[in-house]
Structure 1
Amino acid sequence: MALHPGDPSVIGPYRLLGRLGQGGMGRVFLGRSYSGRMVAVKVPHRELAQEPDFRRRFRAEFEAARRVGGTWTAPVLDHDITSDVPWIATGYVPGPPLREVVDALHGPLPEHTVWALAHGLASALLEIHGRGLIHRDLKPSNVMVTLEGPKVIDFGIARAVDASVLTRPDGMVGSPGYMPPEQIKGEELTGAVDVFAMGAVLAYAATGMSPFSWDGAQAHTVMYRVLYEPPHLGPEDGPLKGDLRTIVLHCLAKNPDDRLAVLAGIPPFAGKRAGADHWLPPALTARLGQVAADLLAFDGPEADRPPSSWGPRLPSATDQRPAPPPPSGAAVRAVPHSRTTQIPDTFEHAQGWAAGRRTRRRPGPARAPATTRTATPDRPHWPTWYRRRYATPAASPCTPAPRTTRSSSRRRGTTS
């Protein structure tokens, strides 16, 4: 998963952590956004990106993938089609491809897991076809195994049903052994091509062998078998048996119309047969859980680089939120940034710090200079006005008699 020499460290707003894979069309990197979300960034080779026809196909791939993003597929998060080297970022699916699970991690999957896989793949195809798209390259390496369920990825050659057929420079679209007869012949394609591929994927998951390339035959031999021979599914009492075998045979029918007739009925039937237990075997569940935990701690080779060097920061939803209105009433006096609080770090410092806070008085706003007001008949000096108003109340029937004052002689201690 590590980055190779010459790989970029940043693409757009994403910091790259490693390389997930490489093919004839380009490379796929594992990246992380500013918010911490893991993404898969797909970048075509530079020489292909310079071709106008390839850039048109890459734009068509983005438009197709953006229209699909539900429970059973990886959503498109970001893109840049107009740059010198275009790229597309999708949500990273934390799990290995089905090819790796069957070939290296576990082997053929148990029956209830294959039923759950049939439920997920059929639901994904119904969603894709409902958006007017066909995948055209469904195979074990494009089906990711996660703890939540299977997910379909890589719409690299998906196209709209009403659009013209996209051709690649090598002329072949699809993978031998998972392409139906009409795709090999170059005829008009419908959603039935994906149903054929789903049947081949289910047979591979249950038996560990492709129904048309179980012996590692060459591509031309495999395509001949697809055109004229029945699929190789093993003995009828083997891993692929009963209703599951019947569904796979319907999906691998030579006639496209026979395949489309069974797609809508697979999800409810397969979901019932899968049961309510977890869809993966316990050992595989524990292994995927450990991989997911390790992924959260994985920070790539550039962990010590500050986030400011990751690229230009994109505005977030918080940045676009309007500022709250100022409080009503009196104006709010701004506090200078230089006025900070020093936190004590020792007990002696804390005692002096607290004493200083008790004795220190924050200076208030400057006051206007005092002025002397001259008393006038209509506006007497305030002591005189106070005595007239409160000290000498008006006489009334309820007013008690005024107290007599002592004479000056008695105050001096003499008698008259």
Structure 2
Amino acid sequence: MERAHTERPQGHSPRQIGPYYLITRLDPAGPGFPPAPERRFIARSADGDRTVLVRTPGEGVDPERFLVEADAARRLLGPWVSPVAELSPPSDSPWYASPYLPSLPLPVALAVHGGPLPERTVRAIGTALAETLAGAHATGITHAGLSPAAVLLAGDGPRLTCFGAVRAAAPDGEQRSGLPGLEPGSLAPEQASGGRPRPPGDVYALGAVLAYAATGHTVPDSAELPESLRSLISRCLTRDPAARPTAAEVLHSLPPASTAPASTVLDSSTSLLTPGWLPGRVVAAVARQSAEVLAAELRVPQTHGA
């Protein structure tokens, strides 16, 4: 994988966040990658029993709003969500943790692969994300944080993170365009100008993520997009929220090109997330990360106590 360097999170000791000791940073250091609104680290408990993905606020993100959104993310359910399992106590600097799953951020996966991902992979990412968003929207939840950096690719499918990033970055009514941590191509125009996050904004961001996976850009020229996905992605990225498809409509437009539309949500995702859905280089990088994290286990400081 693109190697990341452990860095000191603001408000924390160099090697520890809450009860967890840092192993490495998940996101790559240096330019050339879309921004992420969170700092994400692979870490382990002092007793060595728990390995987690722990997050702290990114630059410019309000710490209190960050924790409010992390707490709200507990309501976002489904197999393609990186669940919020633990929140920092009030006395600690803000962080939250999810169970560790070997995975690469979508921008790193493109770097490892050497360019845009195959159409099969793009469709698989799209179905998993659309399935999650459709379920959230049906219960009145808006994700408000989807971008390329928010998507992690694991061996068994994508995982969605960064819930509420737009709301955490700025209150409604405040201009969000250009704020640190927010990927400008993933911000729907109505959200960039300060509008309240709503489901059509999630669909816009979904279109940007699919465009990025297919081309390496969140706002590509239409001709760059795969022909079979061009119309769908373009409709997601239209400036008029009312003209965008719903997440459920996107989901039913994304089965493998060689099959008829799936009759159920489950059929749609499982038909794509089968062995071989990820390119070989990405699979190898995920496996290498897993091995490196496992090898780091003995280096985690142990707690000596009563």
Among 19, 22, 26, which residue is 1:20 paired with? 26
3-state secondary structure, aligned to 2:292 = helix
**Superposed CA RMSD:** 3.4
Shift of 1:74: 0.7
Aligned residues of 2:176 and 2:193 also touching (Cα < 8 A):
no
Partner deviation per Cα, 1:44-65 (whole Å, 9 max, x = no partner) = 48x989xxxx443133112222
CA contact (8 A) 1:41 1:90 kept: yes
| Shift, 1:115, TM fit | 1.0
Cα distance per residue 1:334-369 (max 9 Å; x no partner): xxxxxxxxxxxxxxxxxxxxxxxxxxxxxxxxxxxx
Matched ranges for 1:125-144 at <5 A: 125-144=133-152
1:104 to 1:68, Cα distance in 2 relative to 1, 3 A: same
C-alpha distance 81-44 of structure 1, shift in aligned 2 (>3 A): farther
- Structure 2 counterpart of 1:307, one-letter code: T
Task: Say yes or no: does 1:37 pair with 2:50.
Answer: yes
* Gap change, CA 1:115 and 1:57, over 3 Å in 2: same
Q: Residue 37 and residue 268 in structure 1: after superposition, are their counterparts in 2 closer, same or farther (change >3 A)? A: farther
Return the match for 1:241 from 227, 231, 241: 227
Does the 8 A contact of 1:138 with 1:198 survive in 2? yes
> For residue 279 of structure 1, what is the aligned residue in structure 2?
277
The worse-fitting range, judged by mean Cα deviation, of 185-194 and 15-24 is 15-24
Give unpaired runs (5+ residues) of structure 1.
213-231, 313-416
Letter in 1 for 2:291: A
Matches within 5 A, 1:222-241: 232-234=221-223, 240-241=226-227
Distance 1:266 1:295 in 2: 36
Aligned to 1:263: 247
Q: 1:168 to 1:32 in 2, by over 3 A?
A: farther
Q: SS at the partner of 1:122?
A: helix
Cα deviations by residue, 1:301-330 (Å, 9 ceiling, x for unpaired): x44x43336xx9xxxxxxxxxxxxxxxxxx
TM-score (norm 2): 0.75
Instruction: Give the match's secondary structure for 1:234.
Output: helix
1:116 equivalent in structure 2: 124
Alpha carbons of 1:288 and 1:43: their partners in 2 closer, same or farther (altered >3 Å)? closer
* Mapped partners of 2:296, 2:42: distance in 1: 11
1:64–1:158 Cα contact (<8 Å) kept: no
Secondary structure of the 1:266 match is: helix
Percentage identity across paired residues of the two chains: 34
Deviation at 1:277, TM superposition (A): 4.7
Q: CA–CA distance in 1 between the matches of 2:139 and 2:51?
A: 26
- The Cα of 1:112 is off from its aligned counterpart by 1.2
Distance in 1, matches of 2:296 and 2:190, equals 45
1:272 is displaced (CA, Å) by 4.3
| TM-score after normalising by structure 1 | 0.57
Superposed CA deviations along residues 21-55 of structure 1, whole A, max 9, x for unmatched, are 5889774332123463321222348x989xxxx44
Look up the SS of the partner of 1:144 in the other structure.
Answer: strand
Q: Secondary structure at the match of 1:96?
A: strand
- Give the whole-Å Cα distance in 2 for the aligned partners of 1:57 and 1:177: 23
Report the alpha carbon displacement of residue 147 of structure 1 after superposing the two structures with TM. 0.7
Which residue of structure 2 lines up, in the alignment, with residue 307 of structure 1?
A: 303
Look up the match of 1:251: 236
Paired residue secondary structure (1:298): helix
Q: Does 1:176 align with 2:184?
A: yes
Residues 203, 210 of structure 1: 8 Å contact kept: yes
Structure 2 partner of 1:361: none
Deviation at 1:70, TM superposition (A): 2.5
Higher relative contact order (CA 8 A, sep 6+): 2
Q: What do residues 259-311 of structure 1 show as CA deviations (whole Å, max 9, x unaligned)?
A: 2x4421333442344655531123332332233233222237x44x43336xx
Residue-pair matches, total: 276
1:318-337 matched pairs, under 5 angstroms: none
Q: Is the 8 A contact 1:207 1:233 kept in 2?
A: no
- CA positional deviation for 1:201: 1.4
Within-5 A mapping of 1:320-399: none
| AA aligned opposite 1:206 | A
Q: Is the 8 A contact 2:81 2:161 kept in 1?
A: yes
Per-residue CA distance 1:46-92 (angstroms, 9 max, x = gap) = x989xxxx443133112222222431111111112411423211223
Match of 2:172, as an amino acid?
V
Cα pair 1:68 1:131 within 8 Å, conserved: no
**Matching residue within 288, 292, 295 for 1:294:** 292
Which structure has the larger Rg over C-alpha atoms?
1
The answer to whether the 8 A contact 2:147-2:205 is kept is yes
Name the aligned partner's letter for residue 165 of structure 1: D
Structure 2's unaligned 5+ residue stretches are 30-34, 258-270
Return closer, same or farther for 1:279/1:306 CA change in 2, 3 Å cut-off: same
